[in-house]
Structure 1
Amino acid sequence: MTDFAGRRVLVTGGGRGIGRATALAFARAGATLAVAHRGDGAASASLTAELEAIGADFVLVAADLTTRPGAQRLAEAVRERLGGLDVLVNNLGVDGHVPFEKLTDDEWQRVLDHNTTSAYLVTQEVLDQLGQGAAIVNIGASVALRGRPLGVHYSTSKAALVGFTRALAKELGDRGVRVNLVAPGVTETDGDPLPPPLAARLTALTALGRLGRPEDVAGAVLYLAGDTAAYVTGTTIEVDGGI
């Protein structure tokens, strides 16, 4: 595993799933962590316990990152606790399943705000804390590259991150800041299992014969954030088992 000792890392949406696995992976690799989450509750309590068991140096920050004040609150907490950033992981996101003709303005905005606007707000607010050699890793979705029925708003929000990533990589390259995207496929989490028939159907579509795990995605994030990817920027890595 890449050594992140002495590196300062911010992971958004770190309370569960991919964000949680990513935060724990960075902690095991020695990073100093800031983890943004929705609010106090069982998920944040159990994450705190796991990070403490690892012996991690960390802070959890509860903030609504779909708003400018929430992103500013997070940025200030990072500045105060970490004093700067070496890695930003924009993982916060929500899913949505609704036929396009029944898609409401509120549902469209909810998904776009969480999946796209939050990345814009957080990145802009912490930009001055990212120094030479820093890395930004955005979490998209492989369906954004292909589309998904009943998820036009979700596919749109994740596809927007592809353009966000490529354009920002070009803009920040002269500062030595790399920007990349990880696009997970179907990823099962303990708290949100798929119905068995659907899981079986999707598993059959993958080349590797299994669904993804949050740890699979975390591995790709650590690669892109680390020194072995020092010449990788503006790219998308699909972690979808060959679906």
Structure 2
Amino acid sequence: MNLGLDGKKALVTGGARGVGRGIVLALARAGADVITCCRQDSEAARSLERELAEIGGKHHVLRKDLVEPEQIASLFDEIRVHFGELDLVVNNAGAISHVPYEKLTLAEWHRIVDTNLTAAFLVTQHAIPLLGSSGSVVSIGSKSAEVGIPLRAHYTATKAALVGLTRSLAKEYGSTGLRFNVLALGVIATEALDAMPAEQREAMIERYAAKTALGRLGTPAEVADAVLWLASDLSRYVTGATIHVDGGIS
């Protein structure tokens, strides 16, 4: 199916690995030109550049630390040079840690909040002037925001806040045609899972697959499919929504 994304301009934050990488590649294959950013140089970033070159199109993989507001400003300086405008923004960059609440330091709280929430706020604020009347902003959230998870109070707080931010922006900018939505993810199988020791990996897969209606974990490609839909005119009447891409996890 042609989703009408040929020549569309997209920004995906945190695109070198995992879900972000799947989104970047899916958009490029659908005909969009994609700028993505990652915090540091890595083989993952270099291999993404090679894959994008093989797909073809006008793509750029930039090194930006979105915890630093000046680097977000620099990112948008480059977007203006390369693209001039945007049709889609995907707030995917994120961080997570597992810390007992009584041991959660203010520094770690700020690290997670600055990466998951403040960066999304600033990226979106910078992006709005570049988005046309049919622009779409998608923020990657988590099912955990609804159910809560021990040792992740700081993480789940940021994902819950993304929902509130998104719903407010949907109402504030609805008359302009801009749309804002959240994808609430379940457990997605990424390189982080592959890197686990085999016994631990199999135990995790078995545990979380059993919690889902579909009996398996999700894939980055399946998250990317939802992003493609939200980037296209097929979702033109969808805004302020939290869409679950979680396999029916309980």
Is the shorter-chain TM-score for this pair beyond 0.5, marking a shared fold?
yes
4+ aligned runs moved over 6 Å, structure 1: none
What code does the residue aligned with 1:15 have?
A
Deviations 1:63-93 (A, max 9, x none): 1112210110111111100110010111010
Q: Tell me, yes or no, if structure 1 residue 217 matches structure 2 residue 213.
A: no
**In the alignment, which residue of structure 2 is the partner of 1:169?**
170
> Taking structure 1 as reference, are residues 119 and 104 closer, same or farther at Cα in structure 2, changes over 3 Å only?
same
Quote the offset at 1:175 in angstroms. Answer: 1.2
Structure 1 SS opposite 2:59: strand
TM-score between the two structures when normalised by the length of structure 1? 0.97
Tell me, yes or no, if the aligned pair for 1:7 and 1:86 is still in contact at 8 Å.
yes
Distance 2:192 2:233 in 1: 33
Q: Which runs of 5+ in 2 are unaligned?
A: none
Aligned length: 243
Aligned CA-pair RMSD: 1.1
For 2:15 and 2:90, the matched residues in 1 are separated by: 10
Which residue is 2:56 aligned to? 55
CA shift for structure 1 position 11: 0.4
Partner of 1:94: helix, strand, or coil?
coil
Residue equivalent to 1:199: 205
State the 1:37 CA deviation.
Answer: 1.1
1:220 aligned partner, one-letter code: A
What stretches of structure 1 of length at least 5 have no aligned partner?
none
Tell me, in whole angstroms, the C-alpha distance in 2 between the residues paired with 1:192 and 1:105: 28
Letter in 1 for 2:55: I
Give 1:71-220 correspondences, 5 Å limit. Answer: 71-193=72-194, 195=200, 196-220=202-226
Aligned-residue offset at 1:190: 2.3
State the 1:161 CA deviation: 0.2
Aligned partner letter, 1:48: E
Letter paired with 1:189? T
Contact 1:182 1:239 in 2 (8 A): yes
Q: What TM-score results when the alignment is normalised by the length of structure 2?
A: 0.94
Percent of pairs identical after alignment? 48
How far 1:127 sits from its partner (Å)?
Answer: 1.7
TM-superposed deviation, 1:56: 2.7
Name the amino acid aligned to 1:211: L
- Deviation at residue 125 of structure 1 after TM alignment: 1.4
1:28-47 paired onto structure 2 within 5 Å: 28-47=29-48
